Structure 1
Amino acid sequence: MIASSEENRKKKTSTTDSTQRSRTNRIRRGMMAGPIASTSQESNKKRQNQRLEVSQKKEENRHAGDGLLVADVHQKSSESGLTEITSVDCVGVQQELCIAQERVQRENSFEKVRQETLKTTKVKSLPRPNVADLDVSEMVLDDIDDDDDLRELSKVSFQRTVAEHSCAGRPMDQHTAMVGDLDQCFFRNVFAFDFLFSVFVFQQELKAVLLGSSLHCFSVEWRNQGFTFLETHDLRYGIVQKKGGPCGVLASIQAFVLKKLLFENFESSDTGLQRLRPSNTTRRMCLVLAAAEILWRAGEGKQATIAINSGQNQFTPTGHYKSRGVLEKITCFTVDNIKDLRLLLERHIDQFETGVLGCILFTISAVLSRSIDKVRDDMDVPTTTLIGAHGYCTQELVNLLLCGRAVSNVFDNDTELDSGNSNMTLLKGVKGHCDVGLLSLFEHYNICKVGAYLKTPCYPIWVVCSESHFSVLFGLQRELLTNQDKGLEFDLYYYDGLANQQEEIRLTVSVGKSTLSCQLVDTDLIPPLEHCIRTRWKDAFVNWNDTEPIL
C-alpha cells in the first residue's frame, strides 16, 4: 500500500511537470495557453477574462481602417511565429473585420444619400446666395467619431407635445434641409457638414426674401411689435402699433380680427357696436382664429407652419450672416389640419399678443406656410422683398396675408404686358374673391388699379393703403355690399393703430344724394381717406360726424 501510494505521488508530480513544460512551450511558440483551472468556476472566470481582453482589443482597434487591421494581423503572425489560433482569437478577428467592413459600407451609404439629398434639395434658378461668396472657412464643424452619435444624428425628429396633442416641433435649422419645401425637412443619413451648410443657406434664403440680404436685420420697430389690444372702452377691438413700419401686417390681422368679432362670433348674443367692445377672452380667441385663417390660406388649405420663440439659440450664426438674436431662436411647428393649427396658436398666443417678437413670428409663419419658393414664384420680380425701404411692408406681404399669395399687383387675375421685341411680361394679380378687401390711394392717382375681387370682398372690411401707411375701414352690415350704390347711405368705421386713436371714428357715406356738396370743397383739403372711399363709391360724400378729419 505504501509503495503504491508513493508510486501514485510520483506519477502525479510527473504529470504536473509535464503539463507546465507543455504550457511553457506553447507560450514560446506563440500559442495561447489552455485552461489549467481545476474547477468549472475558475474555468468560467478565465473565459470571462479572455473575452474582456478581446473586447478591449476591439475597442482599441475600432477606429483603425481595413488596411491597418489586416496589417496588424499579419504582423502578429510573423513576430510571434503564430502557428495556431484558438476559437476566441478567431471570433475576435472576424468581429474586427466585420466592424471595419460595416463602417466602410455605412460611409458609402451615407455618401450616396448625401449625393441624393443634394440633388433633391436644389432650388429653382432664382437669385440665391452664391456658394463662392459663402465664408465656409468660418463655419464650425465637429467630428463625429462614435457610431452611436452618427446613428442618433440620422434619427433627428424633435417631437413635442402641445396641449394634449402631439405635433412635430422643429428648430428653425431643421427646415434648412428643404429650402422652401416643408414636406422634405427631415434628415436621414446626412453628414454634419451638409447639415451645417444647409442651415447657413436656408437662413440666407429666409432673410433674402424678407429683407433682401442676410446682412440685414429686423429693425427695432419690428422687433418690439406684437399684437397688443387697446384698453380704451370704445376701441377694445383695436391693435396698437407702436411705431411705423409693420403697419401692413397689423392692419391685415386687424381686418381678420374684425371679421371674427362682427360676423363669426356666434357665441356672442351682442349685435352691432356691442361686438366692438369685446372681453379679453373674446378678443384673444378672435386673434387666434384670425391668425389661423391667414396661415391656413397661405398653406393652400393643406398645411401651415407656426414660428415660436424658443428662448435659446437653435444654431450658431457664422460667416456672412448678421445676427440680432431673432431667427436663431425660432422653433417651427408644422400641422396638416386647421384644428391642430388653432390649438397650437391658442397655446402660444402670448408670444404673438404680448411678446415683443409677435409681428416677426407671424410674418415668418406666413412665409413658411406658403414656402419660400412659392413666395418668390408669386412675385413679378423674384428679387422683391416682403419688407421694403425703411421697414415698410410691401404690397406682396400684404397680399400674402389677405389673399394667401404674395402677388405684386392688386388687379384681378394675371395680365400679359408687351415689353417690346415680341416679349411678353406676365404680371400676376389676385385670383378670386377675398374675405377682406383693399382700397388704395394709388388708384386715385392712377398709379394702379384695384380689381373687383379686393374692392368687393365677402365682408365689408377693407385694408386702406394711404400715404405708404396701412389702416382699416369697416362696416357693420354686409348688406352695403349687395345694395345698389345709388341712393345708398351707410356708416363706416375707421381705425388706425398708429394714430394713438382714443375715440371712435364713424363716417357716414352718402352715395348719389349729396354728391354736389363734395364738388364745392377745395380738393386740396379733402382727406386722403375720402379719396380712397371714392375709388369704391364714386362721387360719394363723406361726413366725419364732428370728428376732426385726418389729412
Structure 2
Amino acid sequence: MERNLSFPWVRFFPPSLSHILNSRLFVTLSYISSQDLCECRKGLQVLSNASATAFPPLLFWRSSPASLLFLNALTMLLIYFLIYILFFSLEISTTTHQGLRKVLFGDASRVFSRDWAQAHFRFREPHSDLAYALEADKGGTRAILMAVQGNIIKYLLFVRNTEYTHLERLCKISQKEQGEALAAALADSLWAAGEGREATVCLISAASHFVPTADYKADNFTERIQLFNFFEKAAAQKFIFDHINCFKSEGSKGLILFLYSLLFSRTLERVQKDLGGTTAHLLEFSCGTVICTQVGSVLKTPKFPIWLCSINGMHSVLFSTNRLLLSDWKMEHVFHLYFYNGQRGQTRTAHLTVDTHSHHWEEGRCADTSSPGKRSPSLEMAIRTRWPGAAVSWNGTDPFF
C-alpha cells in the first residue's frame, strides 16, 4: 500500500527542483508489512546492541514502527539536500551571465537576433529519404545545425546497431529514433567540449535568477538558465533524450541552449584560451544577423568519412557510408559520396560518384571541367581539394553551384 506524503520543506527549494523532486524522485513512502517490520526491528536491535556503547543514539530506532517511517523520511530529506547541492545549486551568477555574453558577442549589451531565438532542431519527415536530415534556415545558425548534422550521420551510420545497411540506416528511422540520434549527437559534442571528462547541459527554468545590470540587456531566457553537470557521457545522453523537446520544439530556443551547453562544457576560460587572442568573441554581426566564425581543424581527414563543408559561404555536409574510405587506400579508386545542404528545396540526398583514376584524355571526363572558362560546381572543386584531379559524376542530380 502506498501513501503520498506532503513534505512542507520542499517549498524551500527552487520551483524547478520542487517539480523534479515531486515528479521524478520518489516522493512516495511505502508502508511495509508487519512481518517485514518485525525483521527490520530485529536487525536494528542487533545493530543497537552491538553499537550502543559507541553510538547510543542508535537505541532510539528500535523504539517503535513509527521510528522507521520517520527514518525513511529523514533519509529522503538528506537525499534531496545532496541532489540540490550536487545538481540544482548551479544557478549562474551575474558575472557569469556577463562573461557568457562577452565570449559570444564581445559586449554584454548584445542579444541574439530573431532567427537565432527562433532556431531549434527540426527533422524532416520520419521514414522518408531525408528522415535523418535537419532543416537549416539561412543565416548564422546553419553552421551549428550542420555540425550537429554531421554527428547525427555518424551516430546513425557508424555507432547505432541496426539491421539496415548503407543509406537505409539514415532513411528508415522513426520520430523516436530521430530524438535518440539528436540526443546522441548533442551529448557527443558536449562530451568532446568537456575533453572527455564532463558535460554540462543547459536548460531554461521558470524563474529568473538575477537582476540585470545597467550594461547587460535582458532577453528573458538567458537569465533563466540552469546548468546540469554530468561526469558520464551516457548519463548526459539519457538526460538530453529525456528533455529532447527542450531542444527540438518550436519556441524552445533549442539551438541557443545547445550553444550555451557547449560553452559551459568547455568552460568560458578555455573558450577564451581557444580563441588565442585572434578575436575577442565567437559570433559576428553581419547584415543584421549573427554569423558563427569557428569551424574547427582536421577537416580533410577526419576519423569518420564525414565532412562539414562551406560551399560559397553556406555550410553543408558531405559523407560516405563506407567507414574504410579514409583508412584503406584501395577504397579511394572509385567511391560514392553523399551531400546534404540543409535547404528545404533539397528533397533527396545527392549521390555523387568520385573516380580518382580518371584521365583528362578519357571521353566525358575532366577535359570538360578543365577547359578555359568552364564553370565547375563549387562542390566538385571542394572535393578536388581532397582528391586532386578526380572526376565527379552527379548521377542524374542537377549540380549544386
With normalisation by structure 1, the TM-score equals 0.54
Determine which of 259, 273, 290 is the counterpart of 1:377: 273
CA change 1:509–1:311 in 2 (3 A) is farther
Deviations 1:116-165 (A, max 9, x none): xxxxxxxxxxxxxxxxxxxxxxxxxxxxxxxxxxxx99x9x968558559
| 1:515 shift after superposition | 4.9
Q: Counterpart amino acid of 1:464?
A: C
Q: Take 1:386 and 1:543, find their aligned partners in 2: how far apart are those partners?
A: 37
Q: Cα deviation per residue 1:372-430 (whole Å; 9 max; x = unaligned)?
A: 000111122164322223311112xx33xxxxxxxxxx3xxxxxxxxxxxxxxxxxxxx
C-alpha change, 1:243 and 1:316, in structure 2 (3 Å) is farther
2:232 is aligned to 337
Query: Contact (CA 8 Å) 1:260, 1:286: kept in 2 or not?
Result: yes
What is the alpha-carbon distance in structure 1 between the residues aligned to residue 308 and residue 217 of structure 2? 33
Match for residue 107 of structure 2? 213
Q: Distance in 2 between matches of 1:337 and 1:538?
A: 42
Tell me how far 1:363 sits from its aligned partner.
0.5
Q: What pairs up with 1:39-118 in 2 under 5 angstroms?
A: none
Report which of the two has the higher share of helix: 1
| Alignment-mate amino acid for residue 227 of structure 1 | F
- Tell me which residue corresponds to 1:90: none
Counterpart in the other structure of 1:265: 160
- Tell me which amino acid in the other structure corresponds to 1:546: G
Query: Contact 1:169–1:333 at 8 Å: present in 2 too?
Result: yes
Quick one: which of 370, 375, 379 aligns to 1:525? 375
Counterparts of 1:417-496 in structure 2 under 5 Å? 453-484=298-329, 488-496=333-341
| Distance verdict in 2 for CA 1:211–1:279, change over 3 Å | same
One-letter identity of the residue aligned with 1:236:
A
- 1:368 alignment partner, one of 264, 268, 277: 264
Q: Residue 334 of structure 1 aligns to which amino acid in structure 2? A: N
Give runs of aligned pairs for residues 120-159 of structure 1, distance below 5 A: none
Match of 1:231 in 2: 125
Q: Does the Cα contact within 8 Å between 1:472 and 1:494 map onto a contact in 2? A: yes
Q: CA deviation at 1:485?
A: 6.5
Contact 2:202–2:261 at 8 Å: present in 1 too? Answer: yes
Q: What is the correspondence of 1:167-178 to structure 2 with a 5 Å cutoff? A: 168-170=86-88, 174-176=91-93
Q: Kindly state the Cα deviation for residue 245 of structure 1 after the two structures are TM-superposed.
A: 1.3
Distance in 1, matches of 2:146 and 2:359, equals: 31
CA positional deviation for 1:533: 0.7
Structure 1 residue 231: deviation in Å? 1.1
CA distance in 2, matches of 1:487, 1:385: 39
Going from structure 1 to structure 2, the CA distance change for 1:340 and 1:512 (only over 3 Å counts) comes to: same
Distance in 1 of aligned mates of 2:25 and 2:181:
22
Is this contact kept in 1: 2:308–2:315, CA < 8 A? yes
Q: Report how far residue 339 of structure 1 moved.
A: 2.6
Q: Which amino acid aligns with 2:292?
A: C
Instruction: Give the alignment partner of residue 394 of structure 1, picking from 290, 293, 296.
Output: 293
1:498 CA drift (Å): 3.0
Distance 1:335 1:264, change over 3 A: same
> Deviations for 1:284-309, whole angstroms, at most 9, x for unmatched residues?
11111111111011111221111102
Residue 299 of structure 1 corresponds to: 194
Alignment of 1:157-168 (within 5 A): 161=21, 168=86
The amino acid of 2:111's aligned partner reads: C
| Structure with more contact order per residue of length (Cα contacts < 8 Å, sep ≥ 6) | 2
The Cα offsets for residues 482-531 of structure 1, whole Å up to 9 and x where unpaired, read as 23269711111101113531122111111122455224225652111111
The one-letter code sitting in structure 2 at the alignment partner of 1:289 is: A
Q: CA deviation at 1:205?
A: 0.9
Contact 2:120/2:249, CA 8 A, preserved across alignment = yes
Cα offsets for 1:243-270 (capped at 9, x unmatched): 321111111110011011011111x211
Q: 1:164 to 1:340 in 2, by over 3 A?
A: farther
**Pairwise CA distance, 1:170:** 4.0
Hey, what's the Cα distance between the residues in 2 that align with 1:227 and 1:238?
Answer: 10
SS in 1 for 2:202: strand
The answer to whether the 8 A contact 1:158-1:169 is kept is no
- For each residue in 1:422-465, what CA deviation from the matched residue of structure 2 results, as whole angstroms up to 9, or x when unmatched? xxxxxxxxxxxxxxxxxxxxxxxxxxxxxxx4322221111012
Partner of residue 144 from structure 2, selected from 249, 264, 277: 249
Over 3 Å counting, the alpha-carbon distance change for 1:485 and 1:210 in structure 2 is farther
Residues 164/481 of structure 1: CA separation in 2 closer, same or farther (3 Å cut): farther
The percentage of aligned residue pairs carrying the same residue is 33
Encode CA deviations 1:327-381: one digit per residue, 9 max, x unaligned: 1121111122223212211121111112431110000100000000001111221
Letter in 1 for 2:386: R
Q: Which amino acid aligns with 1:471?
A: S
- Give RMSD over aligned pairs: 2.6
Cα distance in 1 for residues equivalent to 2:106 and 2:190: 23
Q: Secondary structure at the match of 1:545?
A: coil
1:147 aligns with none
Measure, in 1, the Cα distance between the counterparts of 2:117 and 2:203. 14
Q: 1:499/1:527 Cα in 2 relative to 1: closer, same or farther (>3 Å)?
A: farther
Residues 351 and 395 in structure 2, CA contact (< 8 A), matched pair in contact too = yes
CA 1:213–1:487 in structure 2 vs 1: closer, same or farther (change >3 Å)? closer
> What number of residue pairs does the alignment pair up?
319
Give a deviation string over 1:197-232, Cα, whole Å, max 9, x none: xx1x22221001112211111011111111110117
* Equivalent residues of 2:299, 2:308 under 8 A apart: no
Asked if the contact 1:486–1:511 (Cα under 8 Å) also holds between the matched residues in 2, the reply is no
* C-alpha distance 492-486 of structure 1, shift in aligned 2 (>3 A): closer
User: 2:347 maps to what in 1?
Assistant: 502
Structure 1 Cα separation of the partners of residues 165 and 133 of structure 2? 18
Structure-2-length-normalised TM-score: 0.73
Task: Work out which of the residue numbers 534, 538, 550 in structure 1 matches 2:388.
Answer: 538
